[in-house]
Amino acid sequence: MQHKGLLFIPDISGFTRFVNEIELEHSRHIIQQLLELLINANEVGLEVSEIEGDAILFYKFGEPLELEAIYKQVERMFCSFHQHINAYNARRICQCKACISAVNLSLKVITHYGEFATYNVKNFSKLIGKDVIVAHQLLKNDIKQHEYWLVTSGLLPDLQPAELTGWMEWNSSKKQTETGEIPFHYTQLSYLKETLPPDPLPSLELEQKEKWLTVYRDYDVDLKLLCFTVLHFEFRHQWQVGVKAVNEVQHYLPGIGSTHRHQFDNGGSVLMYTSSFVYNPEERVIFSETDEQKKNSTYYTMEIVNGKPRLTLDYYGKKGTFNKLLYTLTQKKKMQQELQQSLENLDKLVKTMVLPLEF
């Protein structure tokens, strides 16, 4: 039995090129986060039929929603999508092409009202009907820009869409298919990006700190290769003395504000925040991590000095004469030896590394 209802498809534009031409693992994480975000932004009771790679097929049986209510849902998804991308772009550490180009992804939304039915395949509920095909056909059209909301005549059979906001401009077009023409209206959504507030970076660095220790070493490799090896946590245990593993905590990809857990050979562990990052491979790259109690920070500075890449490790503690005196008496000599040995271990490791093509 067929029922009438709303078909609602948010589609991430640029996805195919994103996964075909660049680093697959990171693009998979980015797209997964964006799709989850779109599902979480659902406020009008839409049901998920299936996730179709770069798009989500939502539906809702019943009388059509008011156009304003549909627009509010479109606006929420669109703004949440771009807020997430902007925040990731500002905080990201990875310099692979997937992470760099994520900010260029865009979102379009297809909305259509018509007849369709559900059927079950084991635990999966799928949609069937001519109007499901119509909605999918509209994903491919001649609209040049890829940040728009498209409304079919199924939602507006007789009238032009109303002006929902002062900036909104509607256009009309039609899609020619084997079964006939599909008329539709559309409006660009790019203006909404200009209204998004900047996402402030979290304040995770020590506010009152003093340098307790510095070690450095020069290397005979490319600076980008040195940065790649140092910045990727999966290599840390191969060169840093006493570290068994560094694992991400509740984050798919590292960035400012992300957390990672250092697991040590002695069985202990500590939770660290990525507290700052500055990337200028032609001059200097600085990365810092701060412990969850905000008692100490380590800064990794990679730069060209006298024609060679140099890594400098600066260890900072919370400012205070007693704290520094206690550290000097009990830990400084051992830590200095371990960090210097770590830099020696890194020299052996980095000579075996190959910079991926994606960087």
Same domain? For 245 and 271 the reply is yes
201 in any annotated domain: no
**Mean pLDDT of the residues in the chain:** 89
- Residue 49: CATH number of its domain: 3.30.70.1230
- Residue 28 CA to its chain's centroid (Å): 10
pLDDT value for 288: 96
97 in any annotated domain: yes
Q: Using one digit for the tens of pLDDT, what is the confidence trace for 303-352? A: 999 999 999 999 999 887 667 767 777 788 899 999 999 999 999 999 99
- Residue 307: CATH number of its domain: 3.30.530.20
- Identify which of 9, 103, 18, 14 has the alpha carbon closest to the alpha carbon of residue 55: 9
Which is higher by pLDDT, 146 or 215? 215
CA distances to 172, 186, 302 from 150, in Å: 10, 4, 48
Q: Using one digit for the tens of pLDDT, what is the confidence trace for 73-82? A: 999 999 999 9
Q: Using one digit for the tens of pLDDT, what is the confidence trace for 109-150? A: 999 999 999 888 777 778 999 999 999 999 998 898 889 999
Band of residue 53 on the pLDDT scale cut at 50, 70, 90: confident
Residue 52 makes CB contacts below 8 A (sequence gap 6+) with none
- Helix (H), strand (E) at residue 172: strand 170-177
Same domain? For 225 and 132 the reply is no
Same domain? For 138 and 64 the reply is yes
- Mean pLDDT of all residues in 77-93: 94
172 in Cβ contact with 184 (< 8 Å): yes
Residue with tokens 């669109």: 78
Q: Is 180 exposed, middle or buried (0-12, 13-18, 19+ CB in 10 A)?
A: exposed
79 in any annotated domain: yes
199 in any annotated domain: no
∠ at Cα 246 (358, 299), nearest 5°? 80
Q: Using one digit for the tens of pLDDT, what is the confidence trace for 222-237? A: 999 999 999 999 999 9
Same domain? For 148 and 214 the reply is no
Which is higher by pLDDT, 160 or 96? 96
Q: How far apart are CA 34 and CA 31, in angstroms?
A: 5
161 in Cβ contact with 169 (< 8 Å): no
Residue at which a domain ends, from 169, 194, 219: 194
Type of residue numbered 103:
V
- Identify which of 64, 57, 62, 46 has the alpha carbon closest to the alpha carbon of residue 155: 64
Number of CB atoms found within 10 A of residue 356's CB: 10
190 in any annotated domain: yes
pLDDT value for 332: 86
Percent of the chain with pLDDT over 70: 93
- Helix (H), strand (E) at residue 113: strand 106-121
Domain span at residue 293 reads 209-350
Residue 146 makes CB contacts below 8 A (sequence gap 6+) with 13, 14, 106, 108
Residue at which a domain ends, from 159, 194, 229: 194
Same domain? For 152 and 267 the reply is no
pLDDT value for 219: 97
The count of domains in the chain is 2
In the chain the first and final C-alpha atoms are separated, in Å, by 53
Type of residue numbered 352:
T
HSE of 170 in the Cβ direction (CA atoms, 13 Å)? 15
Same domain? For 130 and 161 the reply is yes
55 in any annotated domain: yes
pTM of the model: 0.85
Same domain? For 62 and 131 the reply is yes
For the chain, how big is the Rg over CA atoms in Å?
A: 26
276 in Cβ contact with 287 (< 8 Å): yes
- Identify which of 55, 77, 75 has the alpha carbon closest to the alpha carbon of residue 139: 55
Band of residue 62 on the pLDDT scale cut at 50, 70, 90: very high
- Identify which of 110, 176, 118, 180 has the alpha carbon closest to the alpha carbon of residue 148: 110
Same domain? For 38 and 174 the reply is yes
Residue at which a domain ends, from 161, 194, 227: 194
Same domain? For 141 and 169 the reply is yes
Same domain? For 88 and 233 the reply is no
346 in any annotated domain: yes
pLDDT value for 1: 44
Q: How far apart are CA 346 and CA 221, in angstroms?
A: 11
DSSP code, position 48: E
Same domain? For 141 and 239 the reply is no
Same domain? For 190 and 261 the reply is no
Number of CB atoms found within 10 A of residue 83's CB: 16
The token duo for 46 is: 């839409």
- Identify which of 7, 13, 33 has the alpha carbon closest to the alpha carbon of residue 147: 13
355 in any annotated domain: no
pLDDT value for 320: 76
